[in-house]
A and B are shown apart, each in its own frame.
Chain A
Amino acid sequence: MECVFGLVGNGFAIVAADTSAVHSILVHKSNEDKIMLLDSHKLIAASGEPGDRVQFTEYIQKNVALYQFRNGIPLTTAAAANFTRGELATALRKNPYSVNILLAGYDKETGPSLYYIDYIATLHKVEKGAFGYGSYFSLSMMDRHFHSGMSVEEAVDLVDKCIMEIRSRLVVAPPNFVIKIVDKDGAREYAWRESVKDNPAPSA
């Protein structure tokens, strides 16, 4: 089941998410990217109802882009997080989105940051955060091994520890994960951790 987690290191933030698209007991896809590039220096990792997840993250992405065209400057990570929370809070009493979000970003003034936003519009600025069944394990691993000011190598190592723990302890563990990083040079995909590959469709 879904695992999304992330942490802040020295000059960067890192987020990881499982890449399984699951319905009921069936796995439909194992390379579904649940971490979207919000803009050049922001990552939005989301878990929840697949339809809501795509609809909501795209909506946030387009509005962040629109803001930039209208005002000529990008939203800060804090502003984007508060905007996202606001949209979830407005929707909450009308037509709620079942989406949990980890928002990672890098700003010149404030450096890297990570925001925890859940589907009932809770907003927290955190150094480490996680959603889904994987959170039981990833949070424990991060409580044990996280320290502020981690290097990229240390952080990736911790992310790998979390993935290993999920894979070995969670009954319904997803096989594959994607890891993304955001730092002063921008947001980008860092690596995939795959234990199964999607079978290509047999040629007719």
Chain B
Amino acid sequence: MSRRYDSRTTIFSPEGRLYQVEYAMEAIGNAGTAIGILSKDGVVLVGEKKVTSKLLQTSTSTEKMYKIDDHVACAVAGIMSDANILINTARVQAQRWDKNFGFQLYMSDPSGNYGGWKAAAIGANNQAAQSILKQDYKDEITREEAVQLALKVLSKTMDSTSLTSDKLELAEVFLSPSGKVKYQVCSPETLTKLLVKFGVTQPATETA
């Protein structure tokens, strides 16, 4: 029955639904998780790395974090070819505007909905992640606490048993001492230290 209304994003079903949009939302649900948390002194983005083949040549250190402008960055969950088009548009538009309104976090989805959030999760298990964030988020959270929270959420929602730096990426947007907005991607080494520090992983045991 619903088949008749499946094929195009522009045709409503009799119940008033757009199936293609819903399918698109569903597709994102299978992608690697990405979490964003707004803190008083910065924004934290963490993402789950899905492609971790040792044979793959990676051109960048990050797989789902993209710098849009000096003061804007985004994390992606979903189809990369589609994301590339949006990122490209965002980068071009970023060059046309010159305004800064303090730290903000936005989430947008395939339906075109977008909104500002204090903490948000997209991708696989986003509902579970979202509910942990809702429980543990507090206003006045610091950036370090936000990193801790984001890693904790990811450790609980990711399928893999132990969190390691090669399955993760972490990026932060904050103000440098000089007052300039800075985007910083966490190195795998620092990330490993953070995971141990926050107790979300066991330090690598010598199993040689």
Contacts and interface: CB of A to CB of B under 8 A. Distances in A.
B184 to A, nearest CB: 15
Contacts of A70: 88, 91
14 contacts: A63-B95, A65-B69, A65-B95, A66-B91, A66-B92, A66-B95, A69-B67, A69-B68, A69-B69, A69-B91, A69-B94, A70-B88, A70-B91, A72-B60
B163 to A, nearest CB: 27
Contacts, number: 16
Contacts of B92: 66
Interface string A54-89: 000000001101100110100000000000000000
Contacts of B60: 72
Interface of B: 60, 67-69, 88, 91-92, 94-96
Contact-residue size bin, chain A (C-beta under 8 Å from the other chain):
under 10
Q: Closest 3 CB pairs between A and B? A: A62-B95, A69-B91, A66-B95
A142 B92 CA distance: 41
Contacts of B68: 69
A46 to B, nearest CB: 19
A72 B91 CA distance: 12
Given A62-B96, A70-B88, 14 more contacts: A62-B95, A63-B95, A65-B69, A65-B95, A66-B91, A66-B92, A66-B95, A69-B67, A69-B68, A69-B69, A69-B91, A69-B94, A70-B91, A72-B60
A66 B69 CA distance: 8
